[in-house]
């Protein structure tokens, strides 16, 4: 809502306040001033009347000229590009240091194609005096050279641009804003003239009005004005409309817009002669009824939309826009002036379904003063009579079906003091509310009931009145110094700290936390795994197709982020994400689940010296496996196992299920070369994804301590060549089975493959630790067990023992 | 052995130390006198043969001898210490070898830091699902039936009554529905609005809201004090807060909350557009209609609520110029905020 200060000043005296004061008053009482526009030039002393003494073409240019300009004291050399520049004229001259209003750039000494220029000759548009201009502004009135240009121009208009919140439609008018100032400054509000003389026939002779849908239109007033001289409206009215962003058209139309801006009541003027059957019917449109609106668009209406019709056709979409047929045009002498009260919800729906938002619909949607229709009609009539010489038919047609009674709202004074937290007396509160137009109906001491004015639709509850008191009192006057402890929450938020713990463990491991959108394209998800694509949650109205589906896995985005880093020449990265995935079951029920993903790109975790050694598939996936095992371990999640799977995004033989406490809780693997190709990644990219909930189930279940071993361990190494199909687990199982109870640890120390060993075979080396909690073991005991183990490996796994 | 003998032995031993010409010779002296079967231990063993009356004097003398000898040996041995090897010094300029820790995402960092600050004031963290119903996300928050925020152009509707939450306020509704007052919570979480992504907008973002409801009076002044404390803890001790009246359907009175600009400390700079203040949060006293929706008696409870964007705090606090950086996951950005 734009409010020219000079217009505002007609209803409440504000001319003694600076623009900043006005702006602060409003902003800190609840109507935010979003911008302050200065229309017209606000020029300082750097802009003076300059006389062009000489003007010669620039040597190196076909359109520039070099002038000598006098400011009455000195002469300046100025390069000018305007075609209308010539010797002998007087023009606005911006000296070095001046700031040009249009664009805000500062004039400096400059060299233009080799010629120095000390200032600029200005056009009207550069000075913000007009929208466009043709060349520099020649001052025909021949003012004295050196006069500040400011003195030749009218003072600039200040326009406040207000952000009117949803609850304050009353401030969508100049008078509404004036009311706020009147209350804030405790100054009287002056209302505009509503006077006019009626003459001739009574209005009922001209037209009859009927409302078929009182729930959508509770009041309809009509006045008839004849012999209107509908030329241009007065200049001051045109200027005010323009300052508010409304285009001036003709007197009748301008007056309806003017009163709407002034009072907040949208009005409409019909060409009376186009009214078939001398009747106005407020009715719903017929389905498929077609009407051409003022903007020249033929619109198809339906039966949910309210129209203003004559005996035959719809003439206007109620409260939104008039029709082209009954438009006031040149030669319209007789006018039917409509001022009505339309239902907010129906107006909103009609405007939305027609895609037609107007100044009028905007006001009806949010709620117009319930008791304004006739006043606004009188105001417009008065203006048309004054400026258009209109004759006003006697009386008004006022179809008033309202069940209108001013709202009553109670207030407990103590409650107000408690909620605001400031000691304000009952009387002070009453005074604030009175200033805002509320009337005390009853006051029982502890509480009072207030009558709410018809324009304050928002004051229905006690809390609303408390807000009025708080904002008028000023929120800055509310102390914020004493911090009361209040209550301490007893609700459990362990879940939050479990997640924090997990995040800290992973960052400790070297993983950096990433975050991705909850949605992405179906294509990206499909490329990874489309086995359960039918259970994805699809967004019917995505921002774009790239964000059309809620993710059912964290892996595709993890891969993309690693890939993006790789393609930006980042050598290595380890990322994790803790986030939600979504699904929709066959019954259409949505679900969500928290997961954690891990991913590594490049030789992560190597020292600088070893970075260049190629990363093998096995090494890459063992890094992720190690992270998973450690995570499970540190979080006390239980026993983790692994099993090969056939995940479509993973290389064959390199996809693995992660099993925690006998339940599959996720998977890991090496992303296929095909998927990696889009980021030109040649190195293996290992990733994992796990459910978060089971992983965090034991975070705080730190086990009771066991005694630290008191006796030394005896270690024995064994190395052997075995078939590659024999896994580490096979070996461990075999050793464990054959070993004595004192065998406490089996650790691999070497894996080796070479031509000498032969194809399909590998050399493995293990350290076995024997230890008793009760005594020092003898060599004999250990050897006995060790021999059995060697024999078992030979017998059961057919290994070729190299060294033991 | 007599005291005189003892003295002779002592002089002899110190002399041998003095004349020793290398470390090996010195070691020979040490073994001869102080070794397990050396002279000094042997003398000690003879103590039992000394007359009881002389024993204290004798013992003292032996100790004195032993100490003096040890000192002499130590002093002399320094002459024979090998010079340190040269040419094999540690090149301390080589890069150290220890795996680097990763970093938390700036959004997590702000959430965790905020939880700690509000935790000191007695708030606990609460959370709810991303997919919400209309009642929790709009209706119970007193959103007018036809408010534009519910339009398909603003909200992601997954089904008739299912949507991606546009704010974390539904968590407040859930907690109030499930628990009697007092409820003192913060609700950090992910939220969604149908915004086109640019430097300051993201369709997927995070909010942190707070709620305190009690049966004893809770005031705007309490709210202001709470947010002032948060501002100081989060943005530095210079930070102040300012309330501007505003409108939200779920609070009455409603305010917008400005923090004084952390860059210029309120003097006015480019970051705060010369105003000295930066708009951070929305807040207010919980609207009685919200209490009705969750089944609290509106006349008997008091409460305030506040909310702000986590991305906004992170961007201001860490000087992040573009919200998209937060979702690009470039490690060269993320690792700066360890």
Q: What is the pLDDT of residues A420-456, one digit of tens each?
A: 988 899 999 999 999 999 999 999 989 999 999 999 9
- Tell if the CB–CB gap between A592 and B157 is shorter than 8 Å: no
Mean pLDDT of the A534-554 span: 94
Report the pLDDT value the prediction gives residue B41, as an integer from 0 to 100: 84
Whether residue A509 is found in the same domain as residue A656: yes
User: Which residues from chain B sit within 8 angstroms of residue A513, using beta carbons?
Assistant: 102-105, 108, 334
- In eight-state DSSP terms, residue A774 is S
Q: For residues A461 and A410, what is the distance between their CA atoms, to the nearest angstrom?
A: 7
B106-337 homologous superfamily: Bira Bifunctional Protein; Domain 2 (3.30.930.10)
| Owner of token pair 């064959």 | A652
Final residue of a structural domain among A451, A477, A503: A477
- The full set of domain ranges for chain B reads 3-79, 106-337
Report the pLDDT value the prediction gives residue A756, as an integer from 0 to 100: 87
Of A736-740, B81-85, B250-254, the one with minimum mean pLDDT is B81-85
Whether residue A384 is found in the same domain as residue A436: no
- Tell if the CB–CB gap between A513 and B156 is shorter than 8 Å: no
What is the tens place of the pLDDT at every residue in A77-87?
A: 999 989 899 99
Residue A193 forms part of a structural domain:
no
Whether residue A148 is found in the same domain as residue A165: no
Decide if A134 contacts A84 (C-beta within 8 A): yes
The arrangement of strands across the sheet holding A90-94 comes to A75-80, A65-70, A47-57, A90-94, A120-121
Mean pLDDT of the B290-301 span: 95
Whether residue A523 is found in the same domain as residue A642: yes
User: Which residues from chain B sit within 8 angstroms of residue A574, using beta carbons?
Assistant: 102
Q: For residues B128 and B139, what is the distance between their CA atoms, to the nearest angstrom?
A: 17
Report the pLDDT value the prediction gives residue A206, as an integer from 0 to 100: 93
Q: Is residue B194 very low, low, confident or very high in pLDDT (cuts 50, 70, 90)? A: very high
Report the pLDDT value the prediction gives residue A483, as an integer from 0 to 100: 67
Report the pLDDT value the prediction gives residue A804, as an integer from 0 to 100: 66
- Tell if the CB–CB gap between A515 and B105 is shorter than 8 Å: yes
Whether residue A102 is found in the same domain as residue A133: yes
In percent, how much of chain B has pLDDT > 70? 98
A96: CATH: 2.40.50.140
Report the pLDDT value the prediction gives residue B290, as an integer from 0 to 100: 96
Q: Is residue B85 very low, low, confident or very high in pLDDT (cuts 50, 70, 90)? A: low
| Owner of token pair 């035959």 | A312
Average pLDDT for chain B: 89
Q: For residues A253 and A332, what is the distance between their CA atoms, to the nearest angstrom?
A: 11
Report the pLDDT value the prediction gives residue B153, as an integer from 0 to 100: 86
Residue A483 forms part of a structural domain:
no
What is the tens place of the pLDDT at every residue in A131-185?
A: 677 889 888 888 899 999 888 877 788 999 999 988 899 999 999 999 999 999 9
Average pLDDT for chain A: 92
| Owner of token pair 């993890």 | A558
Count of structural domains within chain A: 6
Q: Is residue A606 very low, low, confident or very high in pLDDT (cuts 50, 70, 90)? A: confident
Asked whether the predicted pLDDT for residue A325 surpasses 90, the reply is: no
Whether a cis peptide bond, with omega within 30° of 0, leads into B182 is: yes
- Tell if the CB–CB gap between B247 and A167 is shorter than 8 Å: yes
Report the pLDDT value the prediction gives residue B276, as an integer from 0 to 100: 84
Whether residue A146 is found in the same domain as residue A114: yes
Q: Residue A220's CB: how many other CB atoms inside 10 A?
A: 24
Q: For residues A191 and A378, what is the distance between their CA atoms, to the nearest angstrom?
A: 13
Smallest Cβ–Cβ distance between A570 and the set B162, B289, B332 belongs to B332
Smallest Cα distance from A102 to chain B, Å: 20
Of A240-254, A700-714, B65-79, B179-193, the one with minimum mean pLDDT is B65-79
> Could you tell me the two tokens for A588?
């259409």
Mean pLDDT of the A42-71 span: 90
Q: Does B287 reach chain A within 8 Å, measured CB to CB?
A: yes
Final residue of a structural domain among A400, A431, A453: A400
Q: Is residue B84 very low, low, confident or very high in pLDDT (cuts 50, 70, 90)? A: low
Residue A385 forms part of a structural domain:
yes
Asked whether the predicted pLDDT for residue B3 surpasses 90, the reply is: no
Asked whether the predicted pLDDT for residue A16 surpasses 70, the reply is: yes
Whether residue A667 is found in the same domain as residue A777: no
Asked whether the predicted pLDDT for residue B278 surpasses 70, the reply is: yes
B187 contacts: CB under 8 Å, gap ≥ 6: B125, B126, B127, B128, B168, B169, B171, B172, B175, B207, B208, B209, B210, B211
Q: For residues A338 and A315, what is the distance between their CA atoms, to the nearest angstrom?
A: 12
A579 contacts: CB under 8 Å, gap ≥ 6: A515, A516, A518, A551, A554, A594, A595, A597
Query: Could you tell me which of A48, A79, A64, A24 has the C-alpha nearest to residue A146?
Result: A48
Residue A687 forms part of a structural domain:
yes
Residue A796 forms part of a structural domain:
yes
Please report, for chain A, how many H helices and E strands are present, in that order.
19, 39
What is the tens place of the pLDDT at every residue in B8-60?
A: 888 888 888 888 888 888 888 888 888 888 888 888 888 778 888 888 888 88
Give this complex's ipTM: 0.80
Q: Does B211 reach chain A within 8 Å, measured CB to CB?
A: no
B338 contacts: CB under 8 Å, gap ≥ 6: B101, B103
Report the pLDDT value the prediction gives residue A155, as an integer from 0 to 100: 78
Q: Is residue A359 very low, low, confident or very high in pLDDT (cuts 50, 70, 90)? A: very high
User: Which residues from chain A sit within 8 angstroms of residue B225, using beta carbons?
Assistant: 480-484
Whether residue A416 is found in the same domain as residue A389: no
Decide if A723 contacts A789 (C-beta within 8 A): no
Residue A276 forms part of a structural domain:
yes
Asked whether the predicted pLDDT for residue A327 surpasses 90, the reply is: no
User: Which residues from chain A sit within 8 angstroms of residue B112, using beta carbons?
Assistant: 500
Smallest Cα distance from A694 to chain B, Å: 18
Whether residue A231 is found in the same domain as residue A289: yes
Whether residue A210 is found in the same domain as residue A296: yes
Query: How many inter-chain contacts (A to B, CB under 8 Å) are there?
Result: 243
- Tell if the CB–CB gap between A463 and B287 is shorter than 8 Å: yes
What is the tens place of the pLDDT at every residue in A650-660?
A: 999 999 999 99
Final residue of a structural domain among A343, A377, A400: A400
Q: Is residue B148 very low, low, confident or very high in pLDDT (cuts 50, 70, 90)? A: confident
Whether residue A554 is found in the same domain as residue A671: yes
A33: CATH: 3.30.56.10
- In eight-state DSSP terms, residue A443 is E
B282 contacts: CB under 8 Å, gap ≥ 6: B246, B248, B251, B254, B255, B256, B257, B306, B307, B308
Report the pLDDT value the prediction gives residue B255, as an integer from 0 to 100: 92
A206: CATH: 3.50.40.10
What is the tens place of the pLDDT at every residue in A221-261?
A: 999 999 998 888 888 999 899 999 999 899 999 999 999 99
User: Which residues from chain B sit within 8 angstroms of residue A511, using beta carbons?
Assistant: 102
Report the pLDDT value the prediction gives residue B48, as an integer from 0 to 100: 79
Which stretches of A276-427 are assigned E, i.e. beta strand? 279-284, 290-292, 298-300, 306-309, 314-317, 321-322, 335-342, 391-394, 397-400, 408-412
- Tell if the CB–CB gap between A487 and B222 is shorter than 8 Å: no
Q: For residues B258 and B277, what is the distance between their CA atoms, to the nearest angstrom?
A: 6
**Chain B 298-337, CB below 8 Å of chain A: which residues?**
302, 326-332, 334-335
Smallest Cβ–Cβ distance between A484 and the set B146, B222, B331 belongs to B222
What is the tens place of the pLDDT at every residue in A463-481?
A: 999 999 999 988 888 876 6
Whether residue A747 is found in the same domain as residue A686: no
Q: Residue A467 sits in which domain range?
A: 408-477
Smallest Cα distance from B233 to chain A, Å: 14
Burial (CB count within 10 angstroms: exposed 0-12, middle 13-18, buried 19+), residue A767: middle
Asked whether the predicted pLDDT for residue A482 surpasses 70, the reply is: no
A629: CATH: 3.30.930.10
């Amino acid at each position: 809502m734009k409010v020219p200060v000079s217009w505002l000043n007609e209803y409440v005296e504000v001319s003694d306040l600076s623009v900043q004061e006005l702006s602060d008053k409003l902003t800190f009482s609840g109507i935010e001033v979003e911008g302050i526009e200065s229309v017209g030039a606000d020029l300082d002393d750097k802009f003076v009347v300059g006389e062009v003494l000489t003007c010669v073409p620039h040597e190196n240019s076909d359109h520039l000229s070099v002038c000598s300009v006098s400011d009455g004291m000195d002469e300046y050399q100025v390069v000018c590009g305007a075609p209308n520049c010539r010797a002998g004229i007087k023009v606005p001259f911006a000296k070095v240091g001046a700031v040009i209003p249009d664009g805000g750039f500062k004039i400096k000494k400059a060299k233009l194609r080799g010629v120095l220029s000390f200032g600029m000759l200005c056009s009207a548009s550069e000075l913000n005096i007009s929208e466009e201009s043709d060349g520099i502004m020649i001052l025909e009135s021949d003012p004295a050279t050196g006069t500040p240009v400011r003195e030749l121009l009218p003072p600039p208009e200040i326009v406040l641009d207000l952000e009117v919140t949803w609850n304050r439609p009353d401030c969508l008018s100049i008078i509404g804003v004036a009311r706020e100032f009147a209350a804030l400054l405790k100054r009287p509000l002056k209302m505009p003239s509503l006077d006019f003389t009626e003459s001739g026939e009574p209005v009922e002779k001209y037209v009859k009005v009927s409302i078929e849908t009182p729930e959508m239109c509770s009041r309809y007033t009509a006045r008839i004005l004849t012999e209107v001289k509908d030329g241009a409206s007065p200049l001051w009215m045109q200027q005010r409309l323009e300052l508010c962003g409304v285009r001036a058209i003709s007197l009748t139309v301008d007056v309806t817009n003017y009163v709407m801006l002034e009072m907040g009541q949208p009005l409409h003027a019909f060409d009376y002669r186009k009214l078939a059957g001398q009747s106005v019917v407020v009715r719903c449109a017929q389905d498929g009824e077609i009407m051409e609106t003022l903007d020249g668009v033929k619109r198809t209406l339906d039966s949910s939309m309210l129209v203003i019709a004559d005996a035959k056709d719809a003439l206007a979409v109620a409260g939104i826009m008039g029709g082209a047929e009954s438009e006031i045009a040149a030669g319209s002498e007789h006018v039917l002036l409509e001022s009505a009260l339309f239902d907010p919800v129906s107006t909103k729906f009609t405007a939305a379904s027609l895609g037609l938002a107007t100044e009028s619909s905007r006001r009806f949607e949010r709620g117009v003063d319930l008791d304004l229709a006739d006043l606004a009609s009188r105001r417009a009539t008065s203006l048309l009579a004054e400026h258009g010489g209109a004759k006003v038919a006697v009386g008004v047609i006022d179809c008033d079906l309202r069940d209108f009674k001013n709202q009553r709202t109670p207030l407990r004074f103590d409650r107000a003091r408690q909620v605001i937290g400031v000691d304000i007396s009952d009387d002070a509160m009453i005074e604030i509310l009175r200033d805002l137009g509320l009337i005390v109906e009853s006051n029982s001491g502890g509480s009072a009931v207030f009558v709410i004015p018809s324009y304050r639709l928002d004051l229905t509850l006690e809390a609303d009145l408390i807000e009025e008191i708080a904002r008028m009192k000023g929120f800055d006057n509310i102390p914020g110094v004493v911090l009361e402890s209040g209550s301490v929450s007893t609700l459990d938020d362990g879940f939050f700290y479990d997640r924090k713990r997990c995040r800290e463990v992973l960052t400790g491991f070297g993983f950096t936390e990433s975050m991705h959108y909850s949605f992405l394209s179906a294509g990206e998800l499909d490329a990874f795994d489309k086995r359960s694509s039918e259970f994805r949650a699809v967004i019917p109205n995505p921002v774009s197709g790239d964000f059309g589906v809620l993710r059912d896995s964290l892996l595709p985005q993890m891969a993309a982020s690693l890939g993006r880093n790789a393609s930006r020449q980042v050598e290595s990265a380890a990322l994790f994400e803790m986030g939600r995935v979504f699904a929709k079951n066959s019954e259409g029920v949505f679900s969500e689940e928290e997961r954690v993903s891990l991913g590594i790109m490049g030789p992560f975790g190597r020292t600088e010296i070893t970075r260049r050694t190629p990363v093998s598939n096995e090494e890459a996936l063992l890094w992720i496996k190690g992270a998973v095992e450690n995570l499970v371990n540190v979080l006390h999640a239980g026993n983790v196992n692994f099993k090969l799977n056939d995940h479509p995004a993973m290389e064959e033989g390199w996809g693995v299920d992660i099993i925690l406490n006998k339940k599959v809780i996720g998977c890991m693997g090496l992303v296929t070369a095909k998927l990696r190709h889009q980021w030109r990644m040649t190195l293996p990219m290992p990733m994992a994804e796990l459910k978060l909930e089971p992983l965090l189930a034991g975070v705080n279940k730190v086990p009771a301590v066991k005694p630290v071993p008191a006796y030394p361990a005896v270690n024995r190494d064994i190395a052997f060549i075995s078939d590659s199909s024999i896994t580490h687990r096979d070996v461990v199982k075999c050793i464990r089975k054959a070993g004595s109870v004192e065998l406490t640890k089996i650790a691999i120390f070497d894996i080796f493959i070479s031509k000498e060993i032969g194809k399909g075979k590998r050399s493995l080396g293990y350290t076995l630790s024997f230890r008793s909690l009760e005594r020092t073991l003898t060599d004999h005991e250990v050897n006995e067990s060790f021999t059995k183990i060697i024999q078992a490996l030979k017998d059961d796994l057919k290994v070729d023992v190299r060294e033991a | 052995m007599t005291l005189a003998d003892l003295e002779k032995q002592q002089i002899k031993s110190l002399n041998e130390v003095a004349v020793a010409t290398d470390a090996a010779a010195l070691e020979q002296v040490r073994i001869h006198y102080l070794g397990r079967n050396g002279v000094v231990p042997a003398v000690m063993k003879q103590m039992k043969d000394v007359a009881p009356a002389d024993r204290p004097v004798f013992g003292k003398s032996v100790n004195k001898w032993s100490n003096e000898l040890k000192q002499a040996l130590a002093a002399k041995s320094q002459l024979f210490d090998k010079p340190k090897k040269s040419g094999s010094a540690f090149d301390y300029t080589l890069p150290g070898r220890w795996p680097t820790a990763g970093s938390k995402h700036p959004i997590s960092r702000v959430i965790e830091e905020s939880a700690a600050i509000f935790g000191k004031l007695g708030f606990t963290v609460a959370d709810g699902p991303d997919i919400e119903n209309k009642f929790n996300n709009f209706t119970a928050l007193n959103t007018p039936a036809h408010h534009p925020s519910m339009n398909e152009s603003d909200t992601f509707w997954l089904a008739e009554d299912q949507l991606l939450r546009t704010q974390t306020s539904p968590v407040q509704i859930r907690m109030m529905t499930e628990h009697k007052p007092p409820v003192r919570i913060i609700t950090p979480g992910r939220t969604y609005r149908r915004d086109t992504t640019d430097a300051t907008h993201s369709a997927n973002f995070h909010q942190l809201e707070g709620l305190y409801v009690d049966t004893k009076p809770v005031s705007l002044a309490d709210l202001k004090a709470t947010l002032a404390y948060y501002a100081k803890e989060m943005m530095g001790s210079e930070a102040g807060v300012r309330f501007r009246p505003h409108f939200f359907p779920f609070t009455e009175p409603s305010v917008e909350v400005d923090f004084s600009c952390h860059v210029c400390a309120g003097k006015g700079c480019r970051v705060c557009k010369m105003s000295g203040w930066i708009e951070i949060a929305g807040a207010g006293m919980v609207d009685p209609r919200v209490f009705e929706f969750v089944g609290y008696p509106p006349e008997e409870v008091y409460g305030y609520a506040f909310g702000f964007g986590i991305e906004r705090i992170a961007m201001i606090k860490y000087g992040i110029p573009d919200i998209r950086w937060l979702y690009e996951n470039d490690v060269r950005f993320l690792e700066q905020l360890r």
